[in-house]
Chains A and B, each alone.
Chain A
Amino acid sequence: MWRLLILSALSGLILADQAGDFVGRVFGDVDPRLAANSLKIISLEKKLTSLKGKLHDAEKVDPDGFLNEIDARVSELEGTHCAKREFQCGGNEQECVSDILVCDGHNDCHNGHDEDSTVCSTAPVKAGNVFSGTSHWKDCLVRHDHVTRITITQSSRRKFYQARIWVRALVESDLTSHGKTTTSSFQAKGYYNFAHRRLVLVPLGDHDSHLSVVCNFDHGDSERASCHRVLEATLYPCADLFVTLSQHN
């Protein structure tokens, strides 16, 4: 350790000396120590620029988000120990409440987790959000893998009943057949369920031939969701689709 310090101090001195000579030659009468300082500042600026680059790289690896994702995935595998359509309050007091009471403005869990701001985040279904990903069909329709885009066009939350967000969306699929790309799209309506972080979209009125979309935001954030195209009545899954939120800028 000490050796390293001495070595760096020495090299600093040598660098300063050399710089002093160089600057002295260029600037003539300027105090060589001042000139050496200015060069040091220049090298500091360079280091700052490279630090900026490193900060940008650091943004890409988010340990907190990574932990959230692992946590969400493990919880998914463990199960909630609650019945279907129930919400697990979590924490030290394991408790189940009906999902129609989650995020309705009244505490129903003893620890208040059903009104927690992270649970009740409306970020996944903000109007204008565009989610896209590749659909992989397993059944129901014969289609090559293709891109599907889900655009949230409208979202409303009733003041007197806040446990659901009612959503309108446009679902588009880029289909390629015989070398030509066509876009098949339909309007859908549905809701977002806070308790299960689930978005359900059912084709509107005359778009009955299309299949419903069910998305679970099960990756620990509001940007990624595992979706399925399902038959509305039976919920039979026909296609798998993993979507990510398109960047706004």
Chain B
Amino acid sequence: MKTLILLLAFVAVAMATECDNLTRLKVKAQWRRAYSSGHNREDFAQAIWRAIFAQAPEARSLFKRVGGDDTTSPEFEAHALRVLAGFDITISTLDQPEALKAELDHLEKQHEGRHIPDNYFEAFKTALLHVLPAQLGRCWDKAAWSACFDYIATGIKGH
């Protein structure tokens, strides 16, 4: 019995995707397709933030300063694009550990002291993991994204 459980545990570990080098390259390539440009980038950001606030309406209060009450306000659109730009840097540097470390430290500093509960990060992840396949249509790897998002989020949370 014990060996069976041990074996199953090993299988589970082997199956869970980690944010390893190849996975990072995959995420990077898929992000390039999804991030798009121009008006479509604004809409991509808009869709993600609507999905976040739909899951965690209380989170809006954190974004009062940047027009969070109305996600279509110019202030908030600017903020949404800024956030995606930061996220873009982390994804783009996934294969350059030192640069990635520097960006994650930078983002951690920007977020510390804001008392962001972990479930807001989860809401961001869930939003991203639903808008991404809508944007990409096909050829996307949820497990890869999940693993690499967790890696980035942990870096920003600092714990």
Interface residues of A (CB under 8 A from B): 83, 85-86, 97-98, 100-101, 104, 106, 108, 158-161, 163-164, 191, 193, 200, 202, 212, 232-233
Among A106, A161, A164, A193: residue with most chain B CB under 10 A: A161
CB < 8 Å neighbour of B134 from A159, A164, A202: A164
Please state if A97 and B43 are interface contacts (CB–CB under 8 Å).
yes
Specify which chain B residues have a CB less than 8 angstroms from the CB of A86 in the assembled complex.
40
Please state if B138 and A100 are interface contacts (CB–CB under 8 Å).
no
Q: A101-B46, A191-B134, A200-B137 are in contact. Are A160 and B40 (CB under 8 A)?
A: no
Interface flag for B54 (CB, 8 Å): yes
Specify which chain B residues have a CB less than 8 angstroms from the CB of A233 in the assembled complex.
139
Please state if B127 and A101 are interface contacts (CB–CB under 8 Å).
no
B16 CB, nearest partner CB in chain A, Å: 16
Please state if A161 and B54 are interface contacts (CB–CB under 8 Å).
yes
Interface flag for B130 (CB, 8 Å): yes
Please state if B133 and A191 are interface contacts (CB–CB under 8 Å).
yes
Specify which chain B residues have a CB less than 8 angstroms from the CB of A191 in the assembled complex.
133-134
| Interchain CA distance A148-B139 in the complex, whole Å | 24
B55 CB, nearest partner CB in chain A, Å: 5
Please state if B44 and A100 are interface contacts (CB–CB under 8 Å).
yes
B137 CB, nearest partner CB in chain A, Å: 7
Nearest A residue to B139 via CB reads A233
Q: A98-B39, A200-B137 are in contact. Are A160 and B47 (CB under 8 A)?
A: no
CB < 8 Å neighbour of A100 from B52, B72, B126, B131: B131
Specify which chain A residues have a CB less than 8 angstroms from the CB of B46 in the assembled complex.
101
Please state if B43 and A161 are interface contacts (CB–CB under 8 Å).
no
Q: A98-B39, A100-B44 are in contact. Are A160 and B139 (CB under 8 A)?
A: no
Closest 7 CB pairs of A and B: A98-B43, A160-B54, A161-B51, A161-B130, A160-B55, A100-B47, A164-B134
Specify which chain A residues have a CB less than 8 angstroms from the CB of B130 in the assembled complex.
158, 160-161, 164
Specify which chain B residues have a CB less than 8 angstroms from the CB of A200 in the assembled complex.
137-138
Please state if A161 and B127 are interface contacts (CB–CB under 8 Å).
yes
B67 CB, nearest partner CB in chain A, Å: 15
Please state if B47 and A163 are interface contacts (CB–CB under 8 Å).
yes
B29 CB, nearest partner CB in chain A, Å: 13
Could you list some 27 contacts between A and B, CB below 8 A? A83-B40, A85-B40, A86-B40, A97-B43, A98-B39, A98-B40, A98-B43, A98-B44, A100-B44, A100-B134, A101-B43, A101-B46, A159-B54, A160-B51, A160-B52, A160-B126, A161-B54, A161-B127, A161-B131, A163-B47, A163-B134, A164-B130, A164-B133, A164-B134, A191-B133, A191-B134, A200-B138
Interface flag for B135 (CB, 8 Å): yes
Interface flag for B125 (CB, 8 Å): no
Beyond the given pairs A85-B135, A161-B47, 4 more chain A to chain B contacts, judged by CB atoms under 8 angstroms and listed by A's residue number, are A98-B40, A101-B46, A104-B50, A159-B54
Specify which chain A residues have a CB less than 8 angstroms from the CB of B134 in the assembled complex.
100, 161, 163-164, 191, 193
Specify which chain A residues have a CB less than 8 angstroms from the CB of B39 in the assembled complex.
98
Specify which chain A residues have a CB less than 8 angstroms from the CB of B133 in the assembled complex.
164, 191
B43 CB, nearest partner CB in chain A, Å: 3
Q: Which of B114-143 contact A (CB under 8 A)?
A: 126-127, 130-131, 133-135, 137-139
Q: Which of B16-75 contact A (CB under 8 A)?
A: 39-40, 43-44, 46-47, 50-52, 54-55, 72
Specify which chain A residues have a CB less than 8 angstroms from the CB of B44 in the assembled complex.
98, 100
